[in-house]
Amino acid sequence: MSFWKRFREDITAARVHDPAARGALEIAVVYSGLHAIWLHRLNHRLWRRGLRVPARIGSQLARSITGIEIHPGARIGRRFFIDHGMGVVIGETAVIGDDVMLYHGVTLGGKGGGKGKRHPTIGDGVTVGAGAKILGPIVVGNGCIVGANAVVTKDAEPQSVLVGVPAKSRPRVAGQHYGLTEPDYQI
């Protein structure tokens, strides 16, 4: 995918997820969540090419600029959006699908040391509320909604709603919007 097509896709994702978004120029200039994602893509390329130290330095510079820490090893899908991103942390082995939205203060973290997969896998179309913590090598299925301040430490079936500490899962109810609008991407 070309740089400009990806850029337009990112701007559209911001417009879809943020009703306060006024225009492409404003989004491109002031949305720190997008800046963090764009810088992550650069750092991730360096990481994949084995340039680990420059990638880590770049990720720390991005964190100091945006307030969002994304490890350069994390794999992130298309149309990912971070709204009011201050305090977001995404660990090294996290995998994030397409059309995912995170609010501020979200942690996709590990639960201890060791090698291998330590961070969560987030499916397509997932929304994670402010302050939520998703911890360990678990899978949050496609279309899930994670409530604000939930602490998720177990796998979640697709189309689930996860709330509480520790988070309890229940199926999404068809037609119920949970205060969200369904994305309508038209690029």
Distance of alpha carbon 94 from alpha carbon 108, whole angstroms: 7
H or E element in which residue 52 lies: helix 52-66
pLDDT at residue 185 above 50? no
Q: Domains in the chain and their CATH numbers?
A: 3-171 (2.160.10.10)
* pLDDT value at residue 186: 45
What does the pLDDT read at residue 176?
63
Average pLDDT (82-94) is: 94
Burial tier of 173 (Cβ tally within 10 Å: 0-12, 13-18, 19+): exposed
Residue 113 CB-density burial (10 A; 0-12 exposed, 13-18 middle, 19+ buried): exposed
Cβ pair 43, 55 in contact under 8 A? yes
How do residues 21-59 score in pLDDT, each as one tens digit? 889 999 999 999 999 999 999 999 999 999 999 999 999
Longest CA–CA separation in the chain, Å: 48
DSSP E strands, 37-84: 69-70, 75-76, 81-83
User: How high is the pLDDT of residue 95?
Assistant: 98
